[in-house]
Structure 1
Amino acid sequence: MRRLVAGLVLALAVAGAPGVAVAAPEREKWDTRVFSLVPPPGYPAYVHAHSNGRVYAGTYLARDPRRASTPSKVVEWSAGGTLLRSWTVPGQDLDADHGVQVAHETADGELVLLEISRSRVMTLDTRTGRFRTVARLPEGAVPNFATWGPRGLYVTDYGDGVIWRVRRDGRVQEWFRAPELDGVAGFGTTGIRWMKGRRELLVAQQTLGTGATLPTNGALLRLPVDRRGRPGELSTLWTSAPGDLPDGFGVARSGHVYVALAGLAAQLVELDARGREVARFPEVPLSGDNGSEVPFDTPSSATFLGTSVLVANQSAVAGEPSHQAILDVEVGERGRPDFLPRRARFRQRLRSPA
């Protein structure tokens, strides 16, 4: 008994001793903290956790007329949320809708950007600050999210029911088109992720205009790809509630999928590998009350960093600068790394869309 008491006293003394590291208490699931506010012009839509350990986001479509003529920026943070640097995107048409999405990275570490005013795929070398246009989608395309997959980069089009494939030489192909991707009232195709082990793409759709459900229902869709890189038959993994507007999503190692709902619900939804709903956070929709000082306000993506997902809080409708932030939401499990093949890079020469 005396040994037990002595051991306890020693343990308490060590825990309180200066200079002795004490493990941080584990966070509860759904604990939400502000990772960082997003500087003007704001409106982040996706967060990219880079293999270099840093975090990047672009400023997307600014609805605030006071910021509408401001060029978009790419912003860099440390893994702890410290703002490090930013770069202004060159060559935008500032009289048109303009924004930039940090969608992925290349095998040699350059950022892959989607720029909407001129429908461009760009890269940014963060070591030199050099931007380069590597492909142009057809006029009117609205590049939204992207993933590397078989034989190139796959890009969703928010304004049309198309998935584009961008090859390494900059050639652009209309790779897949389907009525399910058309959307209703302009709410189209959003997140996309290549699932290498299953040889399929997961694709998020904000609204479905096919008549199979209410037109305000969205979905998470599955699209198999054969060994020759050809798309198979589209199927539905999960159907959202009306007005949810599923946007970007992250996939855990367990197979669970965390989807940001950019609609009125203002929630994250957790799905199991079969597409069944496990949980919604917050449990009560509409308020966005996540327990942090910044409520969910158009949460637009969920990117894994450690055992958390980073949520881009866009505030697309309200345009509230104090809500335009990256939020850190603990989910208690780790994510699958983004697919990044060794040939994930672009050649120097820009080609016209095919």
Structure 2
Amino acid sequence: MRRPLALALTLVAALAGMTGLAGLAGPASGEQASPEKWPTRVFSTVGKPGFPAYVHVAPNGRVYAATYTNPAGDTMASRVLEWTADGTLLRSWTVPGQDLGRPRGVQVATSDARGRLVLLEKSRAQVLTLNLRTGRFKVQATLPDLPGPGHPIPNYAAWGPGGRLYLTDYGQGVIWRLPAKGGEPAPWLRSKTLAGAGFGTTGIVYERSRRSFLVSQQTTTDPLDLLRGHLYRIPVAADGSPGPVATVWTSGPLDLPDGFGVAQSGNVYVALLGTNQLVKLGPDGTLLAKFPPGPVLGTNGSAIPFDSPSNATFLGTRLLVANQSAILGTASHHAILEVEVGEPGAPLVVPKRSRLR
């Protein structure tokens, strides 16, 4: 998400252009993905400030996403947008209290049991809620700046056991946990495995049947594994502590896996921000398909190609993908794209106890 290292992304783009990523972006295991063509169309374009992040489909059936800032700099606050399930824009809210002198952006991460949106705000590393009836924003928590490299960047969130909220941190290599009724966040898992080489921990989804989290990682700090991303599975023990981190899947170099969605079948659809593709994995991490088959160009058959796709959220049998254009910053590519994959998504987990404050 929301790349603090614009220069590093420019280098990625340059490297992609020089190599074509022809052999570079293949799966680490050597397996070949089957050819796949998923009908794709534009769900909605996204106006200024643009750079849409994760798309959230709420229990009320509406679709929500929010915006980030132009890496070149602007003075606009982030906006939260609301659409119907057919892509009709209904309302928007301007986010208050952002530090307009710093890189900023908002992720609509999930909903709580009261029907509020849970937002992750970058400039102040805060967790907010938005009451859709009153339009009121409320600060729920601020992520601490831990000793060591990096600064807090709240990225994705998911509800877990006991109605607690778990958050990935793109900048600090930690997964945070918030109490069910609100309060200060505490590190749930801090690990070198979650430390990225400028590109850190991204998506998180709770698997209720397995009592575990799936977590995506864009890069690691291992020099032998620096350019590859991963999908991890982290079990939650009976006492709530994290179990051992297991690798489910390893990406190709420069794929930069971002947000993902899980189907009812257990298949996982991951957005590859670095190579402008979607990847379909089996429940055990087996590579099943990549779309489009060729990297970088993002040619998907719609009026707007994939350009830094940052998530894959189910709406029925369709995936809604936020087209962030984080590397090139092409305003006409700032859009939500709709991709038909032919299987339904798993239900969103919103526990009854998920109320925060």
Equivalent residue, structure 2, for 1:132: 138
Equivalent residue, structure 2, for 1:308: 318
**Does 1:156 pair with 2:156?**
no
Equivalent residue, structure 2, for 1:324: 334
**Does 1:245 pair with 2:256?**
yes
2:67 to 47, 59, 63: 59
How far residue 39 of structure 1 moved from its aligned partner, in angstroms, is 1.7
**SS at 2:252's partner residue?**
coil
Q: Distance in 2 between matches of 1:338 and 1:79?
A: 16
Structure 1 residues 219-248: Cα deviation after superposition (integer angstroms, max 9, x where no partner)? 000101111110010010000000000000
**Does 1:194 pair with 2:206?**
yes
**SS at 1:318's partner residue?**
coil
> 1:98-113 residue pairs with structure 2 within 5 A?
98-113=104-119
How far residue 122 of structure 1 moved from its aligned partner, in angstroms, is 0.3
> 1:196-215 residue pairs with structure 2 within 5 A?
196-211=208-223, 213-215=224-226
Any stretches of 5+ residues in structure 2 without a counterpart?
1-35, 146-150
Equivalent residue, structure 2, for 1:283: 293
Q: Distance in 2 between matches of 1:45 and 1:87?
A: 15
Structure 1 residues 198-233: Cα deviation after superposition (integer angstroms, max 9, x where no partner)? 01110000002235x420000000101111110010
Q: Distance in 2 between matches of 1:118 and 1:62?
A: 17
Q: Report the number of matched residues.
A: 315
- 1:62, 1:99 within 8 Å by CA — same for their partners in 2? no
How far residue 178 of structure 1 moved from its aligned partner, in angstroms, is 0.8
Structure 1 residues 294-339: Cα deviation after superposition (integer angstroms, max 9, x where no partner)? 0000000000001100000000111111100000000000000121
Q: Distance in 1 between matches of 2:339 and 2:64?
A: 17
Any stretches of 5+ residues in structure 1 without a counterpart?
1-27, 348-354
Q: Distance in 2 between matches of 1:160 and 1:281?
A: 31
Q: Distance in 1 between matches of 2:72 and 2:66?
A: 16
Give the aligned CA root-mean-square deviation in angstroms: 1.1
- 2:325, 2:333 within 8 Å by CA — same for their partners in 1? yes
Equivalent residue, structure 2, for 1:37: 45
How far residue 29 of structure 1 moved from its aligned partner, in angstroms, is 5.4
How far residue 62 of structure 1 moved from its aligned partner, in angstroms, is 2.6
Q: Structure 1 length as normaliser, TM-score?
A: 0.87
Structure 1 residues 262-286: Cα deviation after superposition (integer angstroms, max 9, x where no partner)? 00x1100000011010000001111
- 2:118, 2:130 within 8 Å by CA — same for their partners in 1? yes
**SS at 2:248's partner residue?**
strand
Runs of at least 4 residues of structure 1 off by over 4 A?
Answer: none
Name the % identity. 58
Q: Distance in 1 between matches of 2:219 and 2:184?
A: 29
Q: Distance in 2 between matches of 1:181 and 1:96?
A: 25
- 1:200, 1:225 within 8 Å by CA — same for their partners in 2? yes
**Structure with higher RCO (Cα < 8 A, 6+ apart):** 2
1:222 to 197, 215, 233: 233
Q: Distance in 2 between matches of 1:54 and 1:29?
A: 27
Equivalent residue, structure 2, for 1:3: none
Equivalent residue, structure 1, for 2:190: 177
Q: Distance in 2 between matches of 1:275 and 1:149?
A: 22
- 1:179, 1:210 within 8 Å by CA — same for their partners in 2? no
Equivalent residue, structure 1, for 2:309: 299
- 1:29, 1:330 within 8 Å by CA — same for their partners in 2? no
Q: Distance in 1 between matches of 2:341 and 2:69?
A: 29
- Match of 1:286, as an amino acid? V
Q: Distance in 2 between matches of 1:169 and 1:290?
A: 42
How far residue 69 of structure 1 moved from its aligned partner, in angstroms, is 1.4
**Does 1:71 pair with 2:77?**
yes
Q: Distance in 2 between matches of 1:326 and 1:317?
A: 17
**Does 1:234 pair with 2:231?**
no
